[in-house]
């Protein structure tokens, strides 16, 4: 018994298994310093892919070697989106080609709008879709990975076994980090840090053997060789002893913390991790139009609001809005936009631009309604697909709607308040505008569209009358 106590005392004096493993992995401490980079603006100075930031980002991407679905295209789309910031700034302020400066000070607002809409429909839409796919795949793979562990002691032993098996790579990366830091090669430094992170945390369940038959003296003797020389090469037998030491330490932890023996799904700490992941996922969904908080049951609420609106037929708009039961949701912001555009296009003559504008906006509104329903039914993939279709159509909507209004307007919008054209339009359209006001105040109870869409459809028709009149009536 005295021998066992003395062995335990020696074990404690010579530190724990962590000392051995990390001494074996790297005999020198890493003295990391943050890289100092020259500040370059990706808005004013240069496209993102022409800066050192892009080199660091690519190095990190290569080092992590992510294998999630759409991860590569997610990164590439993000780089292209960041490039768009620089080109947008040039389009707004001016640019230089072959030493010739071009000023955009008098550039039309519509041209800048087309630039922005193109960014939204191309690189922003692709980034949104592909990065969502990558995130969703990451979540599903992480869930499968966590389910593969028996309990927390399995996670513990698997983590340390992985460090042991990857020790040569870790030591090599540690050397690369120190060398690149000394030479200020921050690209290699970033890549090595990412690789180190990937290696350390990419491990599988060890399904460790039963603790029966392990001898504490063997584990202690295995630890002792670490102090014999600074650079140690382990034999196969010593590696096996090392693994026994790790498993034995897991047994000690199980004795001290019985919860580590629980199946992982029943463990309180694991449940907290899962709860945190679920809360993070819910937060992301809430930020995508506040799907869970504002859209859950949205169709039912709209039906209730419509029923209340029918019951209040003949009441003024102020009386309706004063009713606390008439609620406003985040989704209504988009319905307002759809209503304004569709209402305006309904008032102008049918042309190629106006037809395509109205068609695209109506189709986007239907996609949005489908996305709202999908979010409320927890069909996130389908909802994101519908939102992606809306983003893709932004460019077509902007081009056709802007050109449609420009070709249909009888008044120069830039001289709206300095010419008599607007007064002429008001006089010609007084009847239409008065009807719009009446429809808003005393609305049609048979209309089944969302309330705010109904109201701002009339607002769009009302506003377009300031710049357009039907000249065939003159």
- According to DSSP, the residues that pair with 236 across neighbouring strands are none
- Where the chain has pLDDT below 50, the residues are 1-29, 105-106, 208-212, 214, 219, 222-223, 225-232, 291-296, 298, 309-315, 324-325
Distance between CA atoms of residues 307 and 325, nearest Å: 11
- Check residue 28 and give its pLDDT: 40
| DSSP characters over 275-312 | HHHHHHHHHHHHHTT-IIIIITTHHHHHHHHHHHHHHT
Residues 317 and 229 in one domain: no
Is 85 in the same domain as 201? yes
- Rounded to whole angstroms, the Cα distance separating 18 from 31 reads 19
- What does the DSSP 8-state code read for residue 102? E
Asked if residue 325 is part of any domain, the answer here is yes
Q: How many CB atoms lie within 10 A of CB 115?
A: 18
Instruction: Quote the CA–CA distance of 454 and 336 in Å, as a whole number.
Output: 8
pLDDT computed for residue 272 by the predictor: 64
Task: For residue 269, tell me if it sits in a domain.
Answer: no
Q: Give the 3-state secondary structure of residue 101.
A: strand
State residue 101 phi and psi, 5-degree precision: -85, 135
Structural domain boundaries enclosing 468: 291-473
Q: What is the CA radius of gyration of the chain?
A: 33
194 and 55: one domain?
Answer: yes
For 397, counting Cβ atoms within 10 Å of its Cβ (0-12 exposed, 13-18 middle, 19+ buried), the class is buried
* pLDDT given for residue 27 in this prediction: 42
d(CA 316, CA 322): 10
pTM: 0.70
Q: What is the pLDDT of residues 156-200, one digit of tens each?
A: 888 888 887 788 888 899 999 999 999 999 999 999 999 999 999
DSSP one-letter code for 36: P
pLDDT score recorded for residue 97 = 52
Residue reference for tokens 């239409």: 432
Q: Return contacts of 191-197, CB within 8 angstroms, 24+ apart.
A: 191/59, 191/60, 191/62, 191/63, 192/63, 193/60, 193/63, 194/59, 194/60, 194/61, 194/62, 194/63, 194/64, 195/63, 195/64, 195/65, 196/170, 197/63, 197/64
Instruction: Tell me which residue has tokens 């409320």.
Output: 376
For helices 451-464 and 331-347, what crossing angle results, to 10°?
Answer: 40
Q: Are residues 52 and 147 in the same domain?
A: yes
Beta-carbon-side half-sphere exposure of residue 381 (alpha carbons within 13 Å): 6
Same domain for 245 and 342, yes or no, is: no
Task: Classify residue 38 by burial, with Cβ atoms within 10 Å: 0-12, 13-18, 19+.
Answer: exposed
The first and second tokens of residue 142, run together, are: 């992480």
99 plus 178 within the same structural domain? yes
Last residue within a domain, chosen from 261, 278, 304: 261
CA dist 338 and 325 (Å) reads 24
**298 in the same domain as 256:** no
If one counts the domains in the chain, the total is 2
Q: Are residues 323 and 222 in the same domain?
A: no
Dihedral sign for Cα 200, 206, 211, 215, please. Answer: negative
- N residues, the chain: 474
pLDDT in tens, 13-45: 444 444 444 444 444 445 555 555 567 888 888
> Would 240 be classed as within a structural domain?
yes
Statement to judge: residues 251 and 338 lie in one domain: no
Same domain, 218 and 297: no
280 assigned to some structural domain? no
Q: What span, in angstroms and rounded, lies between the C-alpha atoms of 58 and 81? A: 15
One domain, residues 243 and 378: no
The answer to whether residue 87 is domain-embedded is yes
Integer Cα distance of 202 and 13 in angstroms: 32
Is residue 114 domain-resident? yes
Query: Which of 206, 239, 261 is a domain's end point?
Result: 261
Strands 94-97 and 100-103, bridge-based pairing: antiparallel
Nearest to 203 by CA among 154, 237, 242: 154
| pLDDT confidence of residue 319 | 52
Question: What pLDDT, on a 0 to 100 scale, did the predictor assign at position 266?
Answer: 58
Residues 194 and 342 in one domain: no
- What is d(CA 285, CA 79) in angstroms, rounded to the nearest whole number? 24
Give CA–CA dist 116/125, Å, rounded: 12
Please check whether residue 245 lies inside any domain of the structure. Answer: yes
> Is 283 among the domain residues?
no
Q: Which of 193, 200, 197, 210 is nearest to 159 (CA)?
A: 200
């Amino acid at each position: 018994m005295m021998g066992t106590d003395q062995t335990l005392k020696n074990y404690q004096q010579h530190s724990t298994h962590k000392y051995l493993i990390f001494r074996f992995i790297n005999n020198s401490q890493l003295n990391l310093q943050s890289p100092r980079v020259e500040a370059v603006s990706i808005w004013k100075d240069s496209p993102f892919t022409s800066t050192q930031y892009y080199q660091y980002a690519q190095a990190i991407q290569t080092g992590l070697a992510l294998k999630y679905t759409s991860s590569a295209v997610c990164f590439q789309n993000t780089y292209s989106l960041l490039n768009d910031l620089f080109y947008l700034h040039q389009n707004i302020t001016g640019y230089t080609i072959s030493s010739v400066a071009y000023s955009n000070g008098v550039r039309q607002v519509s041209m800048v709008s087309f630039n922005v809409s193109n960014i939204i429909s191309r690189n922003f839409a692709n980034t949104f879709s592909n990065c969502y796919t990558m995130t969703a795949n990451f979540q599903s793979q992480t869930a499968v990975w966590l389910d593969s562990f028996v309990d927390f002691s399995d996670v513990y032993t698997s983590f340390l076994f992985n460090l042991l098996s990857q020790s040569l790579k870790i030591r090599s990366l540690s050397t690369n980090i120190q060398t690149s830091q000394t030479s200020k090669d921050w690209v290699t430094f970033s890549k090595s840090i990412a690789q180190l992170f990937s290696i350390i945390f990419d491990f599988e369940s060890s399904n460790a053997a039963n603790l029966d038959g392990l001898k504490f003296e063997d584990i202690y003797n295995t630890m002792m060789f670490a102090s014999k020389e600074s650079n140690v090469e382990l034999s196969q037998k010593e590696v096996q002893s090392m693994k026994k030491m790790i498993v034995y330490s897991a047994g000690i932890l199980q004795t001290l913390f019985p919860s580590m023996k629980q199946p992982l799904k029943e463990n309180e700490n694991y449940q907290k991790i899962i709860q945190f992941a679920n809360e993070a996922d819910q937060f992301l969904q809430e930020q995508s139009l506040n799907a869970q908080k504002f859209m859950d049951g949205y169709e039912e609420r709209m039906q209730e609001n419509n029923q209340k609106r029918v019951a209040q037929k003949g009441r003024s708009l102020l009386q309706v809005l004063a009713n606390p039961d008439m609620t406003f949701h985040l989704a209504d912001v988009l319905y307002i936009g759809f209503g304004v555009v569709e209402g305006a296009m309904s008032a102008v003559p049918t042309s190629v631009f106006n037809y395509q504008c109205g068609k695209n906006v109506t189709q986007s509104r239907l996609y949005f309604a489908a996305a709202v329903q999908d979010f409320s039914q927890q069909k996130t993939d389908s909802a994101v697909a519908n939102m992606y279709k809306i983003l893709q159509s932004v460019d077509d909507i902007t081009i056709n709607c802007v050109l449609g209004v420009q070709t249909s307007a009888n008044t120069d919008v830039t001289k709206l308040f300095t010419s008599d054209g607007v007064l002429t339009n008001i006089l010609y359209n007084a009847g239409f505008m008065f009807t719009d006001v009446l429809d808003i105040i005393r609305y049609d109870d048979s209309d089944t569209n969302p309330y705010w869409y109904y109201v701002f459809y009339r607002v769009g028709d009302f506003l377009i009358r300031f710049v357009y009149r039907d000249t065939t009536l003159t």
